Amino acid sequence: MSYHASNPRIAIVTGGSRGLGRSAVEALARRGVWSILTYNSNRAAADEVVVAVEGAGAKAAALQLDTGDTSAFPVFAEAVGKVLGAWGAERFDFLVNNAGTAHHAPLSEVTEEAFDTLYRVHVKGVFFLTQKLLPLMADGGRIVNLSSGLARFAVPGSSAYASMKGAVEVMTRYFAKELGPRGIAANAVAPGAIATDFGHGRVRDNPEVNRMVASATALGRVGEAEDIGPLIAALLSEEGRWVNGQRIEASGGMFL
């Protein structure tokens, strides 16, 4: 699976309007990959990404999607089909399940409502969106699910969120096993703490948190979105074709 301008590969990237998702979309564009990116509420930010992609010589389309609302998935799949048709394509090649919500609270204070919200977005949403889109996915395609370094190391206050990411990692291995006959590879990328607006910019904007992360990281700094997006694009490239069913941590060496 190589990239050619005459036969562009197409990716779907959830949560592609900001942060890691935007970085992935733009890194893919630099490799000639077209993207259908989703946004939850900020259409203006999504439109900015579309402009940036087109500036890189690729194409993009932005579709609204709440990945925690499975009832919206059939309509979304129809919308994807229409975009593909407009681009002269029948199938898309890559699915990046990136969209997510943050959560930070001690175990004793996690509410059922917060837990259920995390589950709908990070576990149920990832599973059933993938299921819904599989008929539109090309054989030989790739899936990247976003996990977290928190699925390996434990930081107080992250029990609910990290549990969801642990489920994502198990799910990813099953995707790889069951979709292998179609030549579809599935991997999980597990970022460490990244300085974006995720979690209200906690890592980016809180000096104490920033220093703590940097001191616990072998490379001595917090991560940036551009540390992750190009890695995702590389996994989806021809060079990543034999990586399958793996958890790939990109944390700069946190808590080694």
The set of catalytic residues is: 161
User: CA torsion, points 91, 97, 98, 100, in degrees to nearest 10?
Assistant: 130
Of the candidates 133, 127, 131, the one whose C-alpha atom is nearest the C-alpha of residue 145 is 127
61 pairs with which residues across the strands? 36
Q: Which H or E run contains 219?
A: none
Q: Please give the Cα distance from 252 to 238 (Å, whole number).
A: 24
Give, to the nearest 10 degrees, the angle between helix 73-86 and helix 125-133.
40
Measured between alpha carbons, how far is residue 32 from residues 57, 68, 201 in Å?
Answer: 7, 30, 31
Q: How many CB atoms lie within 10 A of CB 81?
A: 17
Please give the angle made by the CA atoms of 62, 19 and 127, to the nearest 5 degrees.
Answer: 65
Q: Please give the Cα distance from 173 to 222 (Å, whole number).
A: 28
Q: Please give the Cα distance from 53 to 33 (Å, whole number).
A: 9
Of the candidates 209, 190, 214, 189, the one whose C-alpha atom is nearest the C-alpha of residue 199 is 209
